[in-house]
Amino acid sequence: MDIKTKCIHLDEDTSSDCKHYGAISFPIYQTAAYIHPEVGMSTGFDYSRLQNPTREHLEKVVANLENGVDALAFSTGMAAITAVFDLFKPGDHIIADADLYGGSIRLFHNICEKNGITFSFIDCGEEDIESYINEDTKAIYIETPTNPMMNVIDIRKTSEIAKKHDLLFIVDNTFLSPYFQNPLELGADIVVHSGTKFLGGHNDTLAGFVVTKSEEISEKMRFLIKTVGSGLAPFDCWLILRGIKTLALRMERAQENAQAIVEFLLKEPKVKKVHYPGIKGTKGYEICKKQARGFGSMVTFEAESPELALHILKTVKLISFAESLGGTETLITYPYTQTHADVAEEERERNGITRLVLRISTGIEDKEDLIADLKNAFETFG
C-alpha cells in the first residue's frame, strides 16, 4: 500500500467495522473506564491510562506509516523521548548528535544525567562515532535533518556501527515525518516523533510517538505508558488521526514552498548561508537523496547581521514569529533565544546556533505571498 493510502486507511478496515457503526471517521472513545462483562473478563480495554480504542487506532496508523511492529502515542514528543530513555540505567553511556532539538538536550543534561546516564555529544555526521564507544555505551541518538542546522546524517551507515557494537539506534524522525523518511527500514531500532509537528500538522495539538520494530522494546514501552500515565488523550488522538489524513498533501505543498523560499534566500545578498538538504552539490543533498523521499519543509538561514535577524522577526506579517514547526501556517523561529535558549552558550556556538540563525517551517500558503513577506522584511532593513 502506498504511504498516501496508508495515511487514510489501515489494512484492517476498522472504520467500516460494525463495532463502530460503520463510522468513516474513527470515533473518539471519551471514556476513562470500561465495564467488565464478568469477573476475569474484559472487552479488551480496562482503563484508558493503559489503552483506549482511539489511541489504539492511531498507534496502528503510525506503526503502519513507519513500518514498525508497534507505535505508542504519548502526550508530547518530550514524553515519548523521556520514555525511551527509561530503557537505560545508571552508568549507561549514550552517544548523541550535538545538534538536536534544545528540549532533548535539556532532558539529557537535566534529567538523564541526574539519573546517572552519561552522554558524548558529537557530530555524528562528521566525527568517528566508533572512537567514542566504550564498554558502557548502549545507544546512538540522532535527528536527521538536525534541528536547527539541517545537518544530514547517514542513517544506514550509523545503523551499521550500532549493530556492530550491539547498541540501540534511536532516530528522531520529526523533521521529515514518515511521509519522506522511514528510519526503521534503514536500520534504526526506535523512531521517535514530535506528533505535534507534521503528523498533527495544524499547530493545534501536542503529541509524541515511539515506534519500534522490536516486540521487546514495545512491551517495555507499554509497561511505561501504563505505569507513568503519559499516553495521549482520546480527543487529541482523534485530532492527530485527522491531521495524518492530509499528511501527504501537506508535506508536498510545504516542501514546494520551502524550495521556493530557498531559491529566494540563495539570491538574497543579505543572507550569509542557507541550510537546506535539497541544495544540490551539498553533502546533505547526496545523503538525503539516498535515504529519504524528499527534503522537507524546514529551512534554516544565517542573516548577515544579528540586527537583520531581529528586523526580519519584527517585520514579517504573514509568517508568524512562533516556536513550532510542521503545521499549515509558516512559522519563523529564533533558535538562539527560543528552541535552544537552555543549551549552554558554548554548545550553541559550537553547533553554529548564533544570533544570525533563523529557522523557517513552511506551511501550505501560496509561495508568492510568503516570498513577498520575506522580501519586504529584507527591503525595509537599514
Ligand X SMILES: Cc1ncc(COP(=O)(O)O)c(C=O)c1O
Interface with ligand X (CB under 6 A): 76-78, 101, 103, 143, 147, 172, 174, 194, 196, 206, 208
Helix (H) / strand (E) element for 155: namely helix 155-164
Distance CA 371, CA 261 (A): 6
Q: Which is nearer to ligand X, 191 or 377 (CB)?
A: 191
Question: Contact at 8 Å (CB) between 257 and 365?
Answer: yes
Q: Which of 49, 220, 242, 270 is catalytic?
A: 49
Report the residue number whose CB is nearest to ligand X.
77
The letter for the amino acid at 303 is: A
3-class secondary-structure state, position 374: helix
Q: What is the CA radius of gyration of the chain?
A: 21
Based on the residue annotation, tell me whether 172 is a catalytic residue of this protein.
Answer: yes
Q: Which is nearer to ligand X, 236 or 264 (CB)?
A: 236
3-class secondary-structure state, position 253: helix
Residue of 62, 88, 89 lying closest to 74 (CA atoms): 62
Based on the residue annotation, tell me whether 13 is a catalytic residue of this protein.
Answer: no
Closest approach, Cβ 320 to ligand X, in A, equals 15
Closest approach, Cβ 50 to ligand X, in A, equals 22
Based on the residue annotation, tell me whether 2 is a catalytic residue of this protein.
Answer: no
Q: Which residues contact 159 (CB under 8 A, 6 or more apart)?
A: 169, 186, 187, 188
Q: Which of 29, 97, 189, 197 is catalytic?
A: 197
Q: Which of 101, 179, 276, 336 is catalytic?
A: 101
Q: Which of 70, 154, 172, 373 is catalytic?
A: 172
Q: How is residue 337 written as a grid cell? A: 533565544
Closest approach, Cβ 102 to ligand X, in A, equals 8
Closest approach, Cβ 91 to ligand X, in A, equals 26
Q: Which is nearer to ligand X, 70 or 172 (CB)?
A: 172
Distance CA 271, CA 300 (A): 11
Q: Which is nearer to ligand X, 144 or 159 (CB)?
A: 144
Q: Which residues contact 339 (CB under 8 A, 6 or more apart)?
A: 101, 102, 103, 147, 148, 323, 333, 359
Closest approach, Cβ 121 to ligand X, in A, equals 15
Based on the residue annotation, tell me whether 197 is a catalytic residue of this protein.
Answer: yes
Distance CA 354, CA 334 (A): 9
Give the residue numbers annotated as catalytic, written as ranges.
Answer: 49, 101, 172, 197
